[in-house]
Structure 1
Amino acid sequence: MSQSHTASRHDDRPLNDITVLELGHIAAGPFCSLILAELGADVIKVERRASGGDSVRDSSPVGNSLFNAVNRNKRAITLDLKTDDGLAVFYDLVAEADAFVENLRPGAPERLGIGYEQLREQNPELVYCSIKGFNEGPYQEYPALDPIAEALSGLMSVTGHPDKPPARAGTSVADMTAALFGAIGVVSGIRQRAITGEGQHVTAPLYESTVSLMGYWLAYAQAYDDVPEPIGASHENWAPYDVYLAADETWVFVGPSSQAQWERLCAALEVDLHERPAFETLADRRANEADLNAELQAVIRERPADEVVAAIREVGVPVAPVQNVREVGEDEHLLASDALGTIETTEGAEAEVAVPLLPLRSSTFDAPHPTKPPELGEDTDAILAELGYDADEIERLRNDGCL
């Protein structure tokens, strides 16, 4: 399908000949299709006007920000799939599409007439991606959210500090991880279709996807018959390896990962901790980690963060200030490496924000320029015209409440 002005096509991008339909909401489905859009796909976001579209549209400051972040570089159409004509239009879209992404609750697609088997009848070559809470099994019908997957997967159990309640990650890790696997599934399905000529149904679950991030902890618990506790910013393999508060109230992460780096760290901080028997070897430091952290904290507390970071970086030891999200948007490296792009938000031209671009770098294509997230149904008429609907038919569908 050709594109309107809303989302520009990039002829050099690997998915520039692919059309993706997205019936997604909140994070997982929209983030999956965003990845595909940034790889060049024409992504058409399908929403229902009567319900206000994606449930985070105009919902709250955080909800609006989530919508803006994951729905750029897409086009938008409104359809009411509960009407016969609305569903018929959707089937026309499916017939022209290469892939479909949805993260509706289990059973909802089938009730709407858009389950995999139903859409396969319309387009046998369609790659159908479902992002769900769980794969088939005892949990498959349970309601799922990002924190559910974080709790069940063990991620929540090792996040935070031992003397505090379990904590969820500060961003939607489970949603985003499932979305990444969903995008991989779509690309893999399209690749396999080139060989077999047939589409397929791929499912990317929040729970199992998050468990995949916990692989080494699962292996550890079984091999050593031990259950890890929350670890804060530390690591079981190294010491020192933690965050320390500098004189200007900025936290700084310091993580030497070899004996040589430990000795260089001490030199950079102008201390002789590496010469003390209690801290000489890694085994010594791990055995006396509380005392070691207290000593380092006392030294770092006397200096501002930028001075600490500069001195430690100079000797090649891993170190970084803990930046808040405002500081991330102003980070000199991200700006210099073109990692961020500016979009006009759906709140209006006066609200422009920086968003992260596709982090991949390729020798054959560049990261796309981000476009403004589409207004609800912004491209409906243009998309229907591409399908062959004339102006009178589009107006009839609108008057009948199908759009």
Structure 2
Amino acid sequence: MTDSRQPAAGAERNGPLSDLRVLELGNIVAGPFAASVLADLGAEVVKIERPDGGDSIRSSGDTGDAIFDAINRNKRSIALDLKDDDDIDALYDLVDAADVFVENLGRGTPERLGIGAETLRERNPELIYLSIKGFQEGPYGDYAGMDVVAEAMSGLMSVTGEPGRQPVRVGTSIADMGAAIYGVLGVMVALRERDRTGEGQRVDGTLFESAAHWMGYWLTYADRFGDDPEPLGASHPSWGLYDVFETDAGWLFVGVTNDRHWEAFCDAADLRGLRDDERFATAADRRANKQALLETVQERLRGGDRAALFDALADAGVPAAPVNDPSDLADDPGLDAAGSLARFHATHDGESVPEQTVMAPVSGERFGPEQYRDPPDIGEHTEEILRDWLLSDEEQETLAAEGGDD
């Protein structure tokens, strides 16, 4: 079948998943983020949206616009009213032609709409059905799930922020994205199993369990020592010099995790006298005298040339980084060299606006993420999706010959 899409910036959808058809019934972040990973790797992703408003993130202000554009490029949009008999029949027909179905609706909602995993897999036994929820089924199964709920219940919020201050969420939708990424991993495992058995299955991606997995080593620590870590700020209790420091142009992170780093840091930062300070002679000494070390280094680095310090530390092999703002990632040379930046256009208030984001960092010797389609308007591709997915090649050729594509 010929792909009728108009790729963005002259690119084509030819990634390693280009033979995969994905239906996404997602809202806000988790479901759309999962589908965006598959789309970046070439999967044909069709986003199902309500005719009256579409994905609810579309109506969430400037940040909502940015979220939608970043994680819904490389997709086509079809507008379907799932309470309308004809539209639900059209969805069923699309499911018959799909490999993967992604949803992050509230628990029980897919079943009420007649699109639960059991119903759709009865129609298409080979279907992989990714269901993203706040929690696995069980005692928490009916709790309302959202990113900050998972961050709170998993313990992630308890170690984020500064000691003595209120807990804070991570500055991006990290639990949503974690559930999405684990969900995509589950999809790939299920596809691998389908290659052997010919059968699809439901795959779960959950926010709470994903965030809890990341907190695993802190659970082990608390279980062993009977003590919980305090909020970490930018530091870590395993090392003495591991924090951010104020300079002339903002903050600079420095991470000294071994004696080689320590020697190199003292030389690169022109702090050679610290090597002779008995309080900081060994890693254990630096941990035991952490506060004094941080205060001493901060006093020396305050007002220093951040760019020069970073260059010196990087050349010396010391882990260091300027604390960038999101705008610093635009046209970032490292991301650009890695082929990770997606450049596209989005339409807002009737105007085409150039934008950038970062694609899924999944690559190998012969594949990587690609940008090939701008974010869609609500239902922009409804007719062509129904044609491409539901008509045979012969029927499409007949339609084209009759002028049906005009």
The 1:120–1:9 alpha-carbon spacing in structure 2 relative to 1, beyond 3 Å, is farther
Cα distance in structure 1, aligned partners of 2:134 and 2:347: 29
- TM-score of the superposition, structure 2-length normalised? 0.92
**Cα distance, 1:332 vs structure 2:** 2.4
In the alignment, what sits opposite 1:398?
Answer: none
In the alignment, what sits opposite 2:402?
Answer: none
RMSD of Structure 2 on Structure 1 (CA)? 1.7
In the alignment, what sits opposite 1:357?
Answer: 359
**Cα distance, 1:57 vs structure 2:** 1.3
Equivalences, count: 388
More displaced 10-residue stretch of structure 1: 2-11 or 252-261 = 2-11
Q: Which residue identity does 2:268 align to in structure 1?
A: A
Contact map agreement 1:20 1:100 (CA 8 A) in 2? yes
The 1:214–1:92 alpha-carbon spacing in structure 2 relative to 1, beyond 3 Å, is same
The 1:365–1:330 alpha-carbon spacing in structure 2 relative to 1, beyond 3 Å, is closer
**Cα distance, 1:279 vs structure 2:** 1.1
Residue by residue over 1:226-259, the C-alpha shift from the partner in whole angstroms, topping out at 9 and shown as x without a partner, is: 10010111111111000000023x1000001111
Residue by residue over 1:185-232, the C-alpha shift from the partner in whole angstroms, topping out at 9 and shown as x without a partner, is: 111111111111111011111000111111111111111111001011
SS of 1:69 mapped into structure 2? helix
- The alignment status of 1:81 with 2:82, answered yes or no, reads yes
The 1:47–1:6 alpha-carbon spacing in structure 2 relative to 1, beyond 3 Å, is farther
Residue by residue over 1:314-345, the C-alpha shift from the partner in whole angstroms, topping out at 9 and shown as x without a partner, is: 21111110000011224222223322121101
In the alignment, what sits opposite 2:284?
Answer: 283
Contact map agreement 1:4 1:379 (CA 8 A) in 2? no
The 1:381–1:240 alpha-carbon spacing in structure 2 relative to 1, beyond 3 Å, is same
- The alignment status of 1:231 with 2:232, answered yes or no, reads yes
Give the fraction of aligned pairs with identical amino acids, expressed as a percent. Answer: 47
Cα distance in structure 2, aligned partners of 1:41 and 1:350: 25
**Cα distance, 1:123 vs structure 2:** 0.7
More displaced 10-residue stretch of structure 1: 262-271 or 198-207 = 262-271
SS of 1:252 mapped into structure 2? strand
In the TM superposition, 1:129-208 aligns within 5 A as 129-208=130-209
Q: Which residue identity does 2:258 align to in structure 1?
A: S
More displaced 10-residue stretch of structure 1: 328-337 or 258-267 = 328-337
Runs of at least 5 residues in structure 2 that lack an aligned partner in the other structure: 397-406
Residue by residue over 1:43-72, the C-alpha shift from the partner in whole angstroms, topping out at 9 and shown as x without a partner, is: 11011102x110011431000000000001
Cα distance in structure 1, aligned partners of 2:158 and 2:372: 37
Cα distance in structure 1, aligned partners of 2:97 and 2:12: 17
In the alignment, what sits opposite 1:266?
Answer: 266
Cα distance in structure 1, aligned partners of 2:118 and 2:206: 19
**Cα distance, 1:9 vs structure 2:** 5.2
More displaced 10-residue stretch of structure 1: 342-351 or 187-196 = 342-351
**Cα distance, 1:40 vs structure 2:** 1.4
Contact map agreement 2:42 2:369 (CA 8 A) in 1? no
SS of 2:163 mapped into structure 1? coil
The 1:29–1:302 alpha-carbon spacing in structure 2 relative to 1, beyond 3 Å, is same
Q: Which residue identity does 1:254 align to in structure 2?
A: V
Cα distance in structure 2, aligned partners of 1:3 and 1:160: 48
SS of 1:101 mapped into structure 2? strand
After the TM superposition, which parts of structure 1 deviate over 3 Å for at least 4 consecutive aligned residues? 6-11, 388-391
Cα distance in structure 2, aligned partners of 1:343 and 1:58: 21
In the alignment, what sits opposite 1:306?
Answer: 307
Cα distance in structure 1, aligned partners of 2:2 and 2:236: 51
More displaced 10-residue stretch of structure 1: 367-376 or 191-200 = 367-376
Q: Which residue identity does 1:264 align to in structure 2?
A: A
Cα distance in structure 2, aligned partners of 1:358 and 1:126: 24
Contact map agreement 2:240 2:288 (CA 8 A) in 1? no
Cα distance in structure 2, aligned partners of 1:75 and 1:48: 14
SS of 1:255 mapped into structure 2? strand
Q: Which residue identity does 2:194 align to in structure 1?
A: R
**Cα distance, 1:349 vs structure 2:** 5.0
Contact map agreement 2:246 2:303 (CA 8 A) in 1? no
Q: Which residue identity does 2:68 align to in structure 1?
A: F
More displaced 10-residue stretch of structure 1: 301-310 or 334-343 = 334-343
In the alignment, what sits opposite 1:292?
Answer: 293
Contact map agreement 2:342 2:370 (CA 8 A) in 1? no
In the alignment, what sits opposite 1:44?
Answer: 46
In the alignment, what sits opposite 1:397?
Answer: none
Cα distance in structure 2, aligned partners of 1:79 and 1:300: 58
Residue by residue over 1:329-380, the C-alpha shift from the partner in whole angstroms, topping out at 9 and shown as x without a partner, is: 2422222332212110132554211111232222112431242111110110
In the alignment, what sits opposite 2:256?
Answer: 256
In the TM superposition, 1:328-347 aligns within 5 A as 328-347=329-348
Contact map agreement 1:345 1:372 (CA 8 A) in 2? yes
The 1:366–1:203 alpha-carbon spacing in structure 2 relative to 1, beyond 3 Å, is closer
Residue by residue over 1:107-128, the C-alpha shift from the partner in whole angstroms, topping out at 9 and shown as x without a partner, is: 0000000001111121111110
Cα distance in structure 2, aligned partners of 1:152 and 1:366: 35
Cα distance in structure 2, aligned partners of 1:269 and 1:366: 38
In the alignment, what sits opposite 2:401?
Answer: none
- The alignment status of 1:322 with 2:348, answered yes or no, reads no
In the alignment, what sits opposite 1:401?
Answer: none
Q: Which residue identity does 1:10 align to in structure 2?
A: R
Q: Which residue identity does 1:262 align to in structure 2?
A: W
The 1:97–1:142 alpha-carbon spacing in structure 2 relative to 1, beyond 3 Å, is same
Say which of 33, 37, 49 aligns to 1:35: 37
Say which of 24, 27, 39 aligns to 1:25: 27
